[in-house]
Structure 1
Amino acid sequence: MNTEERKPFAERVGKKQWIAIAAVLVLGLGAGAMILRTSPAKPEAAGHSEAAAHGDGEHHEEGGKEAKEEGKDHDHGHGEAKGHADNEHHEKGKEKDKEEGKKKAATSEHKEDEEKIAFTDEQIKAADMTIESAGPARIKSSLQLPGEIKFNEDRTAHVVPRVAGVVDSVPANLGQEVKRGQVLAVLSSPSLSEQRSELQSAQRRLELARTTYEREKKLWEEKISPQQDYLQAQQAMQEAQIAVANANQKLLALGATPGSSALGRYELRAPFDGMVVEKHISLGESVGEAVNVFTISDLSTVWAEISVAANNLNLVRIGEPVSIRSSAFDQTATGKVSYVGSLIGAQTRTATARVTLTNPQRIWRPGLFVNVELVASEMDAPVTVSAEAVQTVEDKPTVFLRVPGGFMPQHVQTGRSDGKRIEIVSGLKPGAAYAASGSFVVKSQQGKSSATHTH
């Protein structure tokens, strides 16, 4: 016998045979278990089970070793495949990023082309548009206050008749410019007639008293009459003089001329140069004493009354220069604060300040609402643009930057403004060229382009 034949049977049986044997044993054990449910186990069956279990354990150990060896081979192969796949994925990612970058650049260029508002140099010149550069400027922070033009009360008079009477004539008309002493209206007054009659009586008594005095003086000097008669005549003359002076003063106090031929004629005259701004008198009307029939105002100067809140009173001081702008028409004026009220209104919670304005052209009319601007502070801003350059696009402040072939809209964040220059906080660099005056033309052109593109 050769060496293989000399080996025991157990060594000559292969692994596959052992697996087959183990499977047969497992099936046998399962069938035996079904049988043993109804009958007690036999010793032989128990021994057989131990042998089967021993065989299964050896088979399981050998099967585990093979699985480990196969697992190692599989992991090594899978690692190589995985590394190769990662390299391929990385290369594909680079190519994908490049393609996306190209797409984004193309999209950005396309977007810029869409946002660009085409304008040639000839069109800019024809639209009378100016191109300026963003730069630093000194911005004045101003305080805006509401105001109203009113009569200069120091140069406004309410003309009233000082005696009752009936209107004979009214030469003055509403809105008429009158001079000082000019007759505004003529009244017929019975009380004034009595005053003038009293004056005339006093004058006649004075003439008689003067004649008597001169005669008694002459007789006394010639030693014909006693001195007592002379002194009595002198006293009577002096009393007559006082009576005449008193009657004259009464007429002057009434504003009547003492030497008028018509005893009851009363003339209303202008107290100073001005305009008839109110008239409450008509021909044939009966007017009483102290009734306002005319209002005369010198409109060469007017007041701009300002309402100042309590928290702004420290900024409004007498002598402070202000700028006044009309809200009804394009007109400005400058002046100085001439008065600041010391009391705050119980209802309005504001104080009243006043600016005296010269009004030679009569353009500042009483009742006109105005905006009063005071300079609160001054500061330097690094980037500013003209106030005309900022337009509202998509509810955002926008400046149109000059680019080759047209303009590009640029949203910006604005800061302080003094009405002429606007501070740009962000969105614009110093030196950037932009459309200043005439920027609204660019905005309108942008609207047309958007409408056409949408259509």
Structure 2
Amino acid sequence: MNKLLKILNIIALVAVAFFLGRMILNTEKHEAAAEEPAAEAGGEGAATDFVKITDEKLEQAKIETAITGPSVLERQRTLFGQFRANEEGLAHLAPRFPGVIHSVSKRLGEKVEKGETVVVIESNESLETYEVKSLISGTVIFRDAQPGEAVTEGQRLLTVADLSTMWVDLSAYPEDYHILKLGQPVKITATALHKPLDAKIDYISPFGTEGTQTMLARATVSNADQHLRPGLFAEGNIQVGKEDVPLAVSNAALQTWDGHDVVFVKEDDGFKAITVELGRTDGTFTEILSGLKAGQTYATANSFLLKAELGKSMAEEE
């Protein structure tokens, strides 16, 4: 019995020593944590929001600058839609006489020249072959013709589209009907585009779509480089008004640092990340409510390189 009591006492002492040790360690950790901010505030390892960079490196990095000042923001409304082939540049190829298809020389997506023979058909009446030629130069966007198939007069075999221009069909909901006007400027954006395309609304449907309760607004855009394809999604940003703001910066200047919106402002030998409060935006410029004043030089294009350099400096210090 005495031995059991001794063992229990030993276990109790070990437990007390363990908990006391944990308390001491935690106290030391808290004290160290409380001392760290003070060291950061004025010690050698203090955090900085300044990037030192020479004018030569600035030019090499292609970091552009601008001057803060008043601006005019364009109020916009975004409509969604998709690209379609310009129906004014379509040619449907069909047989003149009933017969059997002898050959088809073009596949879906291939280029066709005006006057080029695309389908050869053997006539049922004369048993002689005749050619179906393309009326325009373009791309085959529809094909329903195979050798050996019987065809009838007027049956659509292929559709050739001139894709040098495209339609952008945008859907407007009832609350947006009143803002639409013929000739209204619209900026078209899409994943396939490197930059927005400037266009104008050139058609507004006189009736709505029963199923979706939307109305069609259409713009025509150039597709000289053939990057756009029918069926791709698009967005149309329509200007519906303008607003004057006392101070604004380019959206390319806005970066996030340490959980805050910042703009890199030019100083003697580099740029300083200044925390700013943002206001209204039109997608190109954003109003600055606080943090900056007019006449300051700030980084615009490629300002993210300054943020990357700032992060690199922080990592090296740590």
Pairing partner for 1:298 from 149, 162, 180 = 162
Tell me the TM-score normalized by structure 2. Answer: 0.76
Pairing partner for 2:250 from 374, 377, 386 = 386
Question: Which residue does the alignment assign to 2:233?
Answer: 369
Matched, 1:160 2:94: yes
Question: Which residue does the alignment assign to 2:113?
Answer: 178
Pairing partner for 1:317 from 181, 195, 200 = 181
Query: CA separation in 2, counterparts of 1:334 and 1:342?
Result: 24
CA contact (8 A) 2:74 2:243 kept: yes
Query: CA separation in 2, counterparts of 1:112 and 1:144?
Result: 48
Q: Could you report, residue by residue, the CA deviation over 1:28-86 in whole angstroms, capped at 9, with x for unpaired residues?
A: xxxxxxxxxxxxxxxxxxxxxxxxxxxxxxxxxxxxxxxxxxxxxxxxxxxxxxxxxxx
Question: Which residue does the alignment assign to 1:143?
Answer: 77
Question: Which residue does the alignment assign to 1:119?
Answer: 52
Q: Could you report, residue by residue, the CA deviation over 1:219-278 in whole angstroms, capped at 9, with x for unpaired residues?
A: xxxxxxxxxxxxxxxxxxxxxxxxxxxxxxxxxxxxxxxxxxxx6434323233433222
Aligned-pair distance for 1:375? 1.4
Q: 1:137 to 1:127 in 2, by over 3 A?
A: same
Matched, 1:339 2:203: yes
Tell me the TM-score normalized by structure 1. Answer: 0.55
Matched, 1:409 2:277: no
The letter of the residue matching 1:120 is I
Q: 1:389 to 1:185 in 2, by over 3 A?
A: same
Question: Which residue does the alignment assign to 1:59?
Answer: none
Query: CA separation in 1, counterparts of 2:62 and 2:301?
Result: 8
Provide the secondary structure at the position in 2 that maps to 1:282: coil
Q: Which has the higher strand share?
A: 2
Pairing partner for 1:128 from 38, 62, 68 = 62
Equivalenced residues, count: 278
Alignment of 1:254-273 (within 5 A): 264-273=128-137
Q: Could you report, residue by residue, the CA deviation over 1:72-129 in whole angstroms, capped at 9, with x for unpaired residues?
A: xxxxxxxxxxxxxxxxxxxxxxxxxxxxxxxxxx997779962332313254344332
Query: CA separation in 1, counterparts of 2:201 and 2:65?
Result: 39
CA contact (8 A) 1:327 1:371 kept: no
Q: Which has the larger radius of gyration?
A: 1
Query: CA separation in 1, counterparts of 2:299 and 2:44?
Result: 21
Matched, 1:396 2:249: no
Aligned-pair distance for 1:327? 1.8
Matched, 1:355 2:288: no
Q: 1:112 to 1:414 in 2, by over 3 A?
A: farther
Pairing partner for 1:428 from 276, 292, 317 = 292
Q: Which runs of 5+ in 2 are unaligned?
A: 1-38
Query: CA separation in 2, counterparts of 1:330 and 1:117?
Result: 32
Query: CA separation in 2, counterparts of 1:427 and 1:346?
Result: 50
Q: Which has the higher helix share?
A: 1
Question: Which residue does the alignment assign to 2:30?
Answer: none
Q: CA RMSD in A?
A: 2.9
Query: CA separation in 2, counterparts of 1:110 and 1:314?
Result: 62
CA contact (8 A) 1:150 1:305 kept: yes
